[in-house]
Amino acid sequence: MRKTPARLADGREIIYFDESGSPHRELRDPRPSAPPPTASELRFDPLTEEWVVMAAHRQGRTHLPASDACPLCPSTAERHTEIPASSYDVVTFENRFPALSYGEAPPGGADDLPVPRATGEGRCEVLCFADEHDASFVDLSPDRVRTIVDVWADRTRELSELPGVRQVFCFENRGAEIGVTLHHPHGQIYAYPFLTPRTRRTLDAARRYQERTGNNLFADTLRAEQHAGTRIVRRTEYWTAFVPSAARWPVELQVYPNRRVGDLPELTEEECDDLSVLYLDLLGRMDRLFGQPLPYVAAWHQAPVRSRRDLAYLHLELFSVRRAPDKLKYLAGSEAAMGVFVNDVLPETTAQRLREAAQ
């Protein structure tokens, strides 16, 4: 894989990851220069002890453009996009409308805030999986998925070195039902200046469990699911995919390496190869559940950058809001206001359906 960094007209970084050969790249962005993105603001909610990102500049971001106006397609002589190249394999670049960045700080805002505030420093990257506009992740080849796994690891390593970054999050949203704003096959990578609430809660639970038992909570959870077997969807030499026993979503999968590692850069070549095939298999099963493309979120849970890494266990979370061919799950009163999920589908039922959905 060849890695070629460059700069866009407003100074944002773009990096090409080419799988073979040495293509000549026109690295100059022909668009007029523009000011870099504005940084967001962080405000701390003392009631939940969580940081909230205020990013007013994102209100005007691109929203479901026509296919001939997609900003993630390759550039042409007639139309310049975010990617100043006529073709590409995999490419990542700093988001034009980032939730977090090292850009210019936002205006002062309200002076009477009763809560701590800070500049939203961090980094948000867009990761394009292919230059074909109408493709989806499930349509990719295992070789391309293998490249993407390497890119996730590469970006995790590099973003972890940025000032103040405490957590790196690789993820993909698919489907208008999930809320995607661009249909081109892509994911995102966030470098947070704080531990996210989900990570903080799970690591707190892992710490308490370790103090009680001397064991790792994630590893014991994986062993328990492997032993029970009823919610296992597929187990390979290097990975296990299962529906968690307390699944919140009507379709939910967790995918663990059988060997405990903290993050993507710690995976071996063999583990990455196996993941590339397994991941496509699982996405295919999800699409076959209801005979239509399934809207989903794919989220990598990695160890924090500089603390509590001994408690963590890398794993992938896949979930969908679709509960039937013509029905979606919405977060209503109990979920949205109280955080108490009510799942209409038993995890054991979902696991059985996914096992039956094998190609």
Q: Provide the b/e sequence for 124-139 (b: ≥16 CB within 10 Å).
A: bbbbbbbbeeeebbbe
Question: What is the mean pLDDT of the segment spanning 93-106?
Answer: 87
Return the percentage of the chain with pLDDT > 90, whole number. Answer: 83
Tell whether 141 and 232 lie within a shared domain. Answer: no
Coil, strand or helix: which one is 55?
coil
Among 176, 195, 214, the domain-final residue is 195
Residues of the binding site: 70, 73, 133, 184
* Rounded Cα–Cα distance for residues 225 and 256 (Å): 11
Tell whether 161 and 206 lie within a shared domain. Answer: no
Confidence of residue 113 (pLDDT cuts 50, 70, 90): confident
Tell whether 144 and 249 lie within a shared domain. Answer: no
Among 164, 195, 226, the domain-final residue is 195
Burial of 109 (0-12, 13-18, 19+ CB in 10 A): exposed
Are 133 and 183 within 8 A, CB to CB?
yes
**186, 227, 301, 315: which is the annotated catalytic residue?**
186
Residues of the binding site for Zn(2+): 70, 73, 133, 184
For residues 195 and 119, the model is more confident at 195
Tell whether 175 and 321 lie within a shared domain. Answer: no
Confidence of residue 321 (pLDDT cuts 50, 70, 90): very high
Give tens-digit pLDDT for 292-304: 999 999 999 999 9
List beta partners, residue 247: none
Tell whether 157 and 123 lie within a shared domain. Answer: yes
Checking if the pLDDT of 135 tops 70, the result is: yes
Tell whether 219 and 323 lie within a shared domain. Answer: yes
Coil, strand or helix: which one is 17?
strand
Question: What is the mean pLDDT of the segment spanning 134-138?
Answer: 94
Q: Give the residue from 272, 275, 297, 302 showing the smallest Cα distance to 286.
A: 297
Give tens-digit pLDDT for 138-180: 999 999 999 999 999 999 999 999 999 999 999 999 998 988 8
Identify whether 186 is a catalytic site residue.
yes
Q: CA angle, corner 238, sides to 236 and 241, nearest 5?
A: 55
Question: What is the mean pLDDT of the segment spanning 82-101?
Answer: 94
Checking if the pLDDT of 255 tops 70, the result is: yes
**Segments forming the whole domain that contains residue 327:** 198-356
What global pTM score does this model have?
A: 0.95
Q: What share of the chain is helix, strand, coil (3-state, %, to 5)?
A: 30, 25, 45
**How many domains does the chain contain in total?**
2
Indicate the pairing of strand 117-120 with strand 123-128.
unpaired
CATH, residue 111: 3.30.428.10
Tell whether 180 and 253 lie within a shared domain. Answer: no
* Rounded Cα–Cα distance for residues 44 and 28 (Å): 40
Give tens-digit pLDDT for 182-196: 999 999 999 999 999
Tell whether 143 and 230 lie within a shared domain. Answer: no
Among 195, 216, 239, the domain-final residue is 195
CA 62 and chain centroid, separation: 19
Tell whether 323 and 189 lie within a shared domain. Answer: no
